[in-house]
Structure 1
C-alpha cells in the first residue's frame, strides 16, 4: 500500500468529501404512526434542534459531528505538507487528534441519532439511507488516514 504524503492528502480530501456528502444527504427516514415521514440528514437534524430550542444539543452535535471532524482533516492535510514532519510537536498534535477522533465522530453521531429518534415518538419505523453509509465511510477513511499519517511520521522522524 502506498503511503506517500500525496497519497495521504488525496485520501484526506476524499474523506472530507464523503463526510460532507454524508452530512447533507438523507441518513434515515422516520415514519411515525405509518402516516408521517421525516427524512433526516445530519445538518437538517442539527437545524431542527436549533428550531426546537435545543441549543446545548445543537452546539454539541454541531461541534463534534461537523466542525471538529472537518478541522481534524484540515490539520491532517497541513501536517502532511509541513517541512518539519519529524518534529516532536507535530507527532504530539497528531497523536492527540488520533485519540480524539475515534471518540468524537462515531460515538457522538450515534448519540445524536438516538436523541433525535427518541424525541420523535414511540411508534417509529426507521429506514436507513445512503447518507449514513457515506458519513460512516468518511469516518472510517479519516481514521485510516490518521493511522497511516502517524506511521509515516514515525518512519520519517
Structure 2
C-alpha cells in the first residue's frame, strides 16, 4: 500500500477526483463561453445598439487606449480565473511529500477564494468604463450568467479541493 504521506488526492479519492476534474473542465467551458458570449447590449437614444462580450470589451478598451483598465479587467477576469482552474486541476493529481508546502498552497487557495467574486465586479467596471453618454439602456445577456456560474463553480471546486486536501493530510498524520 502507498504511504499516505505520498498520495495525491487522485490516488486516495479516485472517484471524487474524477468528478472534481469533470467539474473543473465544465467550469472552464462555462468560463470561456462567458468570456466570448454577449454579456450586455447598450442602447443609446434608441438608434445606437452596441452588444459586446467581455472579450470584445477588452479589445475595445485596448483600442481606446485604456491600457490600465484593460490590464485590470484582463488580469482579474481572464488570467486569474484561468490560472486558478489550472492550479486546482494540478492540485488534485499532485503528490504532497512536503506537508509545509501543502499547507502553503491550501492557504493561498483560501486567500484567493475571497477574491473570486472580484471577477463579477470587474465586469461591472467594464460596463462603467464604456463611455455611455447622457441616456443609455443596458440589457444583460446570457454571457454574464455563464461567467457568473463559472465563478461560483470555481469557488465550489476550491472548497471541495480544500476539503479533500484536509482529509488527505489528516490520514497522513494519523
TM-score by length of 2: 0.81
Q: 2:62 aligns with which of 40, 47, 50?
A: 50
State the Cα distance separating 1:124 from its structure 2 match.
Answer: 0.7
Q: What does residue 120 of structure 1 align with?
A: 132
Q: What does residue 68 of structure 1 align with?
A: 80
For 1:86 and 1:154, the matched residues in 2 are separated by: 14
Deviations 1:28-54 (A, max 9, x none): 111011110010100000000000011
Q: How is 1:102-113 mapped onto 2 (pairs within 5 angstroms)?
A: 102-103=114-115, 104-113=118-127
Are 1:21 and 2:33 counterparts?
yes
Q: What does residue 142 of structure 1 align with?
A: 154
State the Cα distance separating 1:90 from its structure 2 match.
Answer: 2.5
Q: Structure 2: where are the runs of 5+ without partners?
A: 1-14, 170-174
Off by >3 Å, runs of 4+ in structure 1: none
Q: Structure 1: where are the runs of 5+ without partners?
A: none
Over 3 Å counting, the alpha-carbon distance change for 1:154 and 1:48 in structure 2 is same
Deviations 1:53-89 (A, max 9, x none): 1111111111111011101100000000112288331
Over 3 Å counting, the alpha-carbon distance change for 1:86 and 1:147 in structure 2 is farther
For 2:100 and 2:17, the matched residues in 1 are separated by: 18
For 1:14 and 1:121, the matched residues in 2 are separated by: 38
For 1:112 and 1:100, the matched residues in 2 are separated by: 21
State the Cα distance separating 1:100 from its structure 2 match.
Answer: 1.9
For 1:100 and 1:113, the matched residues in 2 are separated by: 24
For 2:66 and 2:110, the matched residues in 1 are separated by: 30
Aligned length: 154
For 1:112 and 1:138, the matched residues in 2 are separated by: 18
TM-score by length of 1: 0.90
The answer to whether the 8 A contact 1:86-1:153 is kept is no
